[in-house]
Amino acid sequence: MSTHTHQGHDHGHDHDGHEHEGMLEDVELSERARRVLAMEELLAEKGVVDRTEVQRLIDFQEARSPVDGARVVARAWTDPDYKGRLLSDPEGALLELGYPLVGSAKLAVLENTDAVHHLVVCTLCSCYPTSLLGLPPDWYKSFAYRSRAVVDPRGVMREFGLDVGDTEVRVVDSTADLRYLVLPQRPAGTEGMTEEELVALVTRDSMIGVGVALAPVA
């Protein structure tokens, strides 16, 4: 495999000035990109995959973002019955809001309280609740995060500007078939806010555990 995994930083800049018919002049693919496209074309020609299926999944993934997770969190903050279902039957509770889980992985919810703060990592690869939150941030996949989060979670959180003080820290290493979503605490001073207003306070980082929900603007 070693001959096929080189990143194409050495691709030639051999544009000869004339435009290929119907193609953008500035398109330039790395060797890795060419190989990915080659695989997709070949699989399509052989009838193994339909390229519209690939595009459908790209569209699905692009349609997901931390805002989707924020809607789930805000609903849990404002509806105790929903929160109960979210903790006991996450898959059903997500589906209620129109978020089906795709792929084989199930999802579990970790509730932060005054006593316990959760932080999620996947040390072996980069497991993440992509069905709900979209694709993970680069730092979540970094070697530094994967190495350090399980041994120095408080140091890692401080780098993100979070100090949880006396609260017990529980790091969850997502090693298997479960993807973990942190249910952050509802911030103080938000009693009068609507569910829609609360959504804006729920950050991606608060659902991974390197942050908490934002305080309301006074």
Partner 1 sequence: MARFQPGDLVRVGDAQMDAHHRTPAYIKGRVGRVHALSGQYPNPETLAYGADGEPERDLYLVEFDMRGLWGERATGPSGDRLLVDVYEHWLEPADAPGSDGGRA
Partner 2 sequence: MSGVHDMGGRPNDDPIDQSQHILSDWERHTHAMVGVLREKRLITTDELRRGIESIAPQEYERLSYYERWSASLETLLVEKGLVTQEEIDARAEVLREKWG
From 85, 101, 137, 216, residue interacting with partner 2 (rule: CB under 8 A):
137
Query: Judged by CB under 8 A, which stretch of 86-94, 106-114, 150-158, 180-188 contacts partner 2?
Result: 150-158
H or E segment and range at residue 193: none
Position 67 contacts partner 2 (CB under 8 A): no
Instruction: Count CB neighbours of 159 within 10 A.
Output: 13
Nearer to partner 2, 104 or 218 (CB): 104
Length of the chain, please? 218
Of 122, 131, 174, 206, the catalytic one is 122
Judged by CB under 8 A, the chain residues 155 through 214 that form the site for partner 2 are 156, 159-160, 173
189 Rama sector, left if φ>0, alpha if ψ -120 to 50, beta otherwise? left
Cβ atoms 185, 113 nearer than 8 A: yes
The residue (of 171 and 193) whose beta carbon lies closer to partner 1 is 171
Q: How many CB atoms lie within 10 A of CB 186?
A: 19
Active site residue 122: yes
Extended beta strands in the chain, E state: 106-111, 116-121, 168-173, 178-183
SS (H, E, C) 17-76: CCCCCCCCCCCCCCHHHHHHHHHHHHHHHCCCCCHHHHHHHHHHHHHCCHHHHHHHHHHH
Residue among 213, 68, 210, 208 at smallest CA distance from 133: 68
Contacting positions for partner 1 (CB under 8 A): 106, 108, 123-124, 150-155, 166, 168-178
Q: Minimum distance from CB of 175 to partner 1 (Å)?
A: 5
Q: What is the DSSP letter of 4?
A: G
Of 19, 22, 23, 114, the one binding partner 2 (CB under 8 A) is 23
* Comparison of 87 and 164: residue with beta carbon closer to partner 2: 164
Residue at token pair 């408080």: 154
Q: Residues 87, 108, 150, 214: which binds partner 2 (CB under 8 A)?
A: 150
Work out which of 101, 108, 135, 200 binds partner 2, going by CB under 8 A. 135
- The answer to whether 209 touches 158, Cβ cutoff 8 Å, is no
**Interaction partner, residue 93 (partner 2, partner 1, none; CB < 5-8 Å by kind):** none
Active site residue 126: yes
Q: Using CB under 8 A as the criterion, which residues of the chain lie in contact with partner 2 when the complex forms? A: 1-2, 4-5, 7, 11-15, 20, 23, 27-43, 46, 48-49, 53-55, 57-58, 61-62, 102-105, 121, 123-126, 135, 137-139, 141-148, 150-151, 156, 159-160, 173
Catalytic residues: 122, 125-127
